[in-house]
Amino acid sequence: MTESTRLRVPHPLALLTGCVLLAAAASYVLPAGSFERRDDPVSGRTLVVPGTFHSVAPDPVNLFEAMVALPIGMAEASAVIFLVFLIGGAFTVVDETGALRRAIPSLIRLLHGRDILVVPVVALFFAMGGVVQNMQEEIIPLIPVLLILAGRMGFTPMVAIAMSAGAAFVGSAFSPINPFQVQIAQQAAQVEPLSGGLFRMVFLILALMLWIGATMRYAAATRVPPQAVTDDLGESLTGRDRFILSMVGSTFVLMVVGLREWGWEFNHMSGAFFIMGVLVGLIARMGVSGTAQAYVRGFQSMAYAALLIGFARAISTVLEQGLIIDTIVNGMFTPLESLPRLASALGMIVAQALIHIPVPSVSGQAILTMPVLVPLADLLGLSRQVIVLAYQYGAGLCDLVTPTNGALMAILASGGVRYEEWMKFTLPLYAALVVLGGVSIAIAIAINLQ
């Protein structure tokens, strides 16, 4: 098939704008409905009251209102967008010190002919980011650095994204501790926090072996001859470089501790990385003006990615304004009541994946769907742990493929990888991971995982 006749997905901004318009059109077709909600004094969150779905007066979203939803979506995603800008600026400062460029040749020398091992090393780092704190948007500013690393190893941009974002998304979906997925879902389902951790850990290891193994095979099959990228390795790391890189690593550690122990949110992480970037610039003797100029260049490089995040958020904004989010959730889960236990549980994976397209926030989806699924699970005699697993595998894995995931689209745009190219690589692995999730649920039902 020639380039001119091959199916091509529209530009990401056009694709997301089309999804916003489709959501607006759906508000004219689907009946408006709503669940009652209550404030939970323990978690401080607003939860759905199961069994309270009812019809409400329709409020369809017209074309102009759909376009107004675009800036509204950017405003609602402002904390994430500012995180992308400030981390991107900080890493531009780090990059302009030369420390990262000198670190890559040092890594190549260290591996000494075993440079394929960079794939599992990098993938495990990002997978742990997914496991611990649902790393997604934080990856966007790191893509330029990963592209340099992949290029010097002879790997394609696809490998750079697969061993970073792909590994992080898989780690998030199978995580036993992710506070933005499993912990919120367990709390909403009234399951003991962190329960079933060993069970999840087993399937996390299997999932990462599958993803990393496939990425290594792809990297080996598509790389250019090693000598084409390992000649003239350049300067070695200096003492100042090592100190700068240690500051970068320490900031990531601080971020993880802040998230887990101090209740940090996106704004706290943005502040921490901004401070790190400023200190790096001063230590590298870039001066105040030089550091500020590097930040501006970093902001410019992240502008497109930030726009994609805001446009993606606008989709759920339109569905909320059109009063059809709850209708979609109720319509997805009600038919499962008549199915056998295993079929119902597997159907929950499919339903969660479909819901994740219009509701790309995993934490928001947990709060929306878990209260609806709890009485259904009790009615069918399913462990509530099973519905949490179905949510993790349905919603979490869908992050790998859904175009409404602003972080994914921004990462692909930053790496210069077209969405259809990513889908060609990812869909077989996504299907295999969903099957693995189905096996996990079948075993959980058989052993009555609590």
pLDDT tens readout for residues 79-136: 878 887 888 888 888 878 877 777 766 666 676 667 788 899 889 888 987 887 777 8
The first and second tokens of residue 359, run together, are: 């509701």
Average pLDDT, the chain: 83
pLDDT score, position 166: 95
pLDDT score, position 149: 80
Q: Identify the band that residue 24 occupies on the pLDDT scale cut at 50, 70 and 90.
A: very high
pLDDT score, position 412: 92
pLDDT score, position 232: 43
Which of 85, 141, 174 lies closest to 362, judged by CA?
174
The first and second tokens of residue 55, run together, are: 């019809």
The answer to whether residues 420 and 361 touch, using CB atoms and an 8 Å cutoff, is no
Range of weakest confidence among 51-60, 268-277, 356-365:
356-365
pLDDT score, position 229: 43
Q: What is the DSSP string of 395-435?
A: IIHHTTT-TT-HHHHHHHHHHT--HHHHHHHHHHHHHHHHH
Range of weakest confidence among 110-119, 241-250, 279-288:
110-119
Decide if pLDDT at 230 tops 70. no
Cα 161 to Cα 197, 240, 334, 444, distances in angstroms: 28, 29, 37, 32
Averaged pLDDT for residues 434-444: 94
Q: Identify the band that residue 428 occupies on the pLDDT scale cut at 50, 70 and 90.
A: very high
Q: Identify the band that residue 212 occupies on the pLDDT scale cut at 50, 70 and 90.
A: very high
Domain boundaries, the chain: 12-48+62-447
Return the DSSP state at 47. Answer: E
Crossing angle between the packed helical segments 384-391 and 419-447, to the nearest 10 degrees = 170
Crossing angle between the packed helical segments 143-153 and 99-111, to the nearest 10 degrees = 40
Decide if pLDDT at 1 tops 50. no
Give the 3-state secondary structure of residue 33.
strand
Q: Identify the band that residue 398 occupies on the pLDDT scale cut at 50, 70 and 90.
A: very high
Cα end-to-end distance, the chain, whole Å: 52
228 or 447: which leads in pLDDT: 447
Return the DSSP state at 97. Answer: T
Q: Give the C-alpha separation, 285 to 293, whole Å.
A: 13
Range of weakest confidence among 89-98, 430-439, 441-450:
89-98
Averaged pLDDT for residues 358-383: 78
Q: Give the C-alpha separation, 309 to 361, whole Å.
A: 11
The answer to whether residues 400 and 170 touch, using CB atoms and an 8 Å cutoff, is yes
Averaged pLDDT for residues 51-59: 87
Averaged pLDDT for residues 425-450: 93
Averaged pLDDT for residues 241-269: 82
Looking at 322-405, list the stretches that DSSP marks H as alpha helix, in order from N- to C-terminal side.
Answer: 325-333, 341-356, 362-380, 384-391, 397-398
SS percent in the chain: helix, strand, coil, step 5: 75, 0, 25
Range of weakest confidence among 58-67, 110-119, 170-179, 425-434:
110-119
Decide if pLDDT at 2 tops 50. no
Query: pLDDT over 70 for what percent of the chain?
Result: 90
According to the per-residue pLDDT averaged within each range, which of 3-7, 133-137, 209-213, 370-374 is highest? 209-213
Q: Identify the band that residue 8 occupies on the pLDDT scale cut at 50, 70 and 90.
A: low
Cα 112 to Cα 116, 117, 173, distances in angstroms: 10, 10, 34
Decide if pLDDT at 43 tops 70. no
Cα 186 to Cα 135, 196, 326, 357, distances in angstroms: 19, 10, 21, 22
